[in-house]
Amino acid sequence: MVAPVVLVIGVIIGFPLVRGVFLSLTDANEANVQRDIGVNHIPATYKFTGLDNYTAILTDDVFWNRLGWTVLWTVACVSLTFLLGLTLATMLNRTLRGRTFYRLALILPWAIPAFISVFTWQMLYNEKSGLLNKLLAGGGIDAIPWLNDPTWAKLSVIAVNVWLGVPFMLVTLLGGLQSIPGELYEAAEMDGANAWQRFRNITMPGLRAVSSTVILLSTIWTFNMFPVIFLLTRGGPGDATEILVTYAYRLSFVNSPRNFSECAAWGVLILVLLSAVAVVYRRALRKQGEVW
């Protein structure tokens, strides 16, 4: 009965993956791969180059610089999103008037396609005509070069990504919270545990399974969060907000002919990095007695 699963995974994941790995070991680019355009037949003339692409990437400062910022960006985004999501989820996990309204309002960012949100933010951030600076001007504060200064641009992209990511955290953590039996809290209260003790000893362990999964997922997504960076700053100013995936894109799709092999090598490296993170993370959880 396993055959269909194997087949589907092979077709939709296996083939592209193997093809990507193969391309990363060649010098294939837009000009030397085989294609037929109308009457033009262009034969494949790329060749196998072994690990050349990988050596070139790993010996270049650019890779390590970008990796540094990508890690910082991921850690900042995931921790802020998680903390905010957890706080909001805890606040919503009780009976209060208009709970449905709050929940809906908080899920709203999720319902809007990411690129629309990003464009809206881009308008808000506009240094000369954006709403944020107009508000600051109203308070007598000088305009802030949101996307035109390396440091501000970094903070700005993190803010947008956190804004986009909180609803997911909120929903999943709220689900986790609701699966914790209320009796535990009642019993703890009877034993005289205060709010913090209840949170520390009931909520946190109860949420562990959910939170470990969402943190891992969120890490993977944020690490590869192309649209926020690309649409908001295109990696700029300069290359200040460039993460690995946007850099790979710039390298491989902005220049011509597009370098498929180099792009594939970047893809494989990113995959390897994320797989390593996932393995290490799982090990760490297992050591804490988590079955995952």
Partner 1 sequence: MRRGIPGIRGITATALVAGLALTASGCGGSDGNGTANSGGELSGTVTFWDTSNDAEKATYRKLAEGFQKEHPKVHVQYVNVPFGDANAKFKNAAGGNSGAPDVMRTDVAWVADFANLGYLAPLDGTPALDKTADYLPQAVGSTRFKGKTYAAPQVIDTLALFYNKKLLKDAGVPVPKTFAELKAAAKKIKDKTGATALYLRGDDPYWFLPYLYGEGGNTIDAHSKTVKIDNAAGVKAFAAIKDLVDSKTAITDATDGQENQLTALKDGKVAMAIDGPWDIEGARAGQAFKDKKNLGVAPVPGGSTAQGSPQGGWDLSVYAGSKNLQAAYAFVKYMSSAKVQQETTDKLSLLPTRKSVYQIPAVKQNEMVTFFKPAVDRAVQRPWIAEGNSLFEPIKVQMNKVLTGSATPEQAAKATGAAYRKLLKDYK
Q: Give contact residues for partner 1 (rule: CB under 8 A).
A: 30-31, 35-40, 42, 115-116, 119, 122, 126-129, 147-150, 153, 231-234, 236-240, 250, 253-258
Of 168 and 249, nearer to partner 1 (C-beta) is: 249
Alpha helices in 93-181 (DSSP H): 99-111, 114-125, 131-138, 150-178
Of 109 and 237, nearer to partner 1 (C-beta) is: 237
Of 73 and 168, nearer to partner 1 (C-beta) is: 73
Of 6 and 56, nearer to partner 1 (C-beta) is: 56
Task: Concatenate the DSSP letters of all residues of 3-64 into one string.
Answer: HHHHHHHIIIIIHHHHHHHHHHTB---TTTS-EEETTEEE-----B-TTHHHHHHHTSHHHH
Of 100 and 129, nearer to partner 1 (C-beta) is: 129
Of 73 and 242, nearer to partner 1 (C-beta) is: 242
* Least distance (Å) between residue 1 CB and partner 1: 36
Q: What residues contact residue 130 under an 8 Å CB cut-off, 6+ apart?
A: 123, 124, 146
* Least distance (Å) between residue 250 CB and partner 1: 7
Of 78 and 118, nearer to partner 1 (C-beta) is: 118
Report whether the peptide linkage leading into residue 237 is cis, meaning its omega lies within 30 degrees of zero: yes
Of 31 and 141, nearer to partner 1 (C-beta) is: 31
* Least distance (Å) between residue 126 CB and partner 1: 6
> Token digits for 132?
């944020």
Q: How many CB atoms lie within 10 A of CB 208?
A: 16
Q: Is the distance from CB of 154 to CB of 76 less than 8 angstroms?
A: no
> Token digits for 249?
């894109």
* Least distance (Å) between residue 263 CB and partner 1: 13
* Least distance (Å) between residue 38 CB and partner 1: 4
Distance of CA 168 to the CA centre of its chain: 12
CA–CA distance, 168 with 207 (Å, rounded to integer): 15
Q: What residues contact residue 237 under an 8 Å CB cut-off, 6+ apart?
A: 147, 148, 149, 150, 153
Q: Is the distance from CB of 149 to CB of 68 less than 8 angstroms?
A: no
* Least distance (Å) between residue 31 CB and partner 1: 6
* Least distance (Å) between residue 37 CB and partner 1: 4
> Token digits for 179?
């699966």
* Least distance (Å) between residue 221 CB and partner 1: 21
